[in-house]
Structure 1
Amino acid sequence: MLSQLRPCLVLFAFLMFVTGIVYPFAMTGGAQLLFPSSANGSLVVDNNVVRGSELIGQSFAADKYFWPRISAAGAGYDAGASSGANLGPTSKKLLDRIAADAQRLKAADGVSSLPADSVTSSGSGLDPDISPAYALIQASRIAKARGIPEDKVKALVEAQVKKPVLGIFGEPRVNVLELNRALDAVAPG
């Protein structure tokens, strides 16, 4: 029996060493060497202060900033509670929340219609991007709050639009954190 058990234990110890130590260290080291920014969370740093991540949305509530999508993650943009709302399209609770958010956003931005991403959350609840259409309807509110021409805000949005990958994968989008940082650089306020 010992002669049959010994090869199993040796193989188990070897595989534990390879898959539990060698492989993770090789992957971590390779990622740090080849993609250091991505491996460390794609952090956005200003003057040695971490402002956020390019990959995780965060809340901006002041009128002088672009607002992100609605978040269903925890109490809002809680990366530890990433999830969607899990409410179906016929859910009264979801429809009431969308109607209230739409009314609030229409009043804040002085518009009569909104793009879908302005009142819906992403699957993770942490989407860092918004559509260019949603960014552009916010331009009037931001220009007024900062005392700058609306055309300047719209030009900033257009300059920040990221096109679909290879021209076919995804939709045009704007990263809210990067857009707000560029806005602060152009018109501090």
Structure 2
Amino acid sequence: MVFGFFKRRQREQAAYALYGALVAQSRQPEFYLHLGIADTVDGRFDMIALHAALVIRRVQGQPDDGPPTAQFLFDIMFADMDRNLREMGVGDLSVGKHVKRMAKAYYGRAAAYEEGLQGDEETLIAALTRNLYRKSEPEPWQVAAIAAYVRRSAELLAQQDYQALGQGTMTFAPLAGFLAPPAAGRPSDPQE
């Protein structure tokens, strides 16, 4: 029983580290300044949901510790969403409804991103356009850049050591290579 507690505590600590790292990545100003993501509550939720989907996808693939750690990460994320809604002044009686809608939105986005990552570029671009840009009309290069960033980040996360991930050490694709329309002769998906 004691050993189970320590294992649970390690998973929970790993999930907190993962959440902190994915939120930090989601808040990179380049997403909002250059890639056309709305710098709003919804836009920030969408970026956190995107990065959480990528990280949870990676963590769930890890035998033994992966699924429970992914569940802790999900729980931490939505506890944080609950806390943020309360800080924004959403009434106590309606917070639960808001969080439930956000969780449903997350699951839909995660499934769409997974389908896009498993499928072709058009499927991923459609999912990203629908979920990140909503009713706005981004430049085609912005959506293509986000799609290339997502695909490259998924590849990098898949290659990373699970123990390092548990410490919150994650490497996403560097944003610098995705911030401008591709020039003639320049690849649209920079590799490290």
| TM-score (norm: length of structure 1) | 0.29
Which structure dedicates a bigger proportion of its chain to helix?
Answer: 2
Rg larger for: 1
For normalisation by structure 2, the TM-score amounts to: 0.29
Structure having the larger proportion of residues in strand: 1
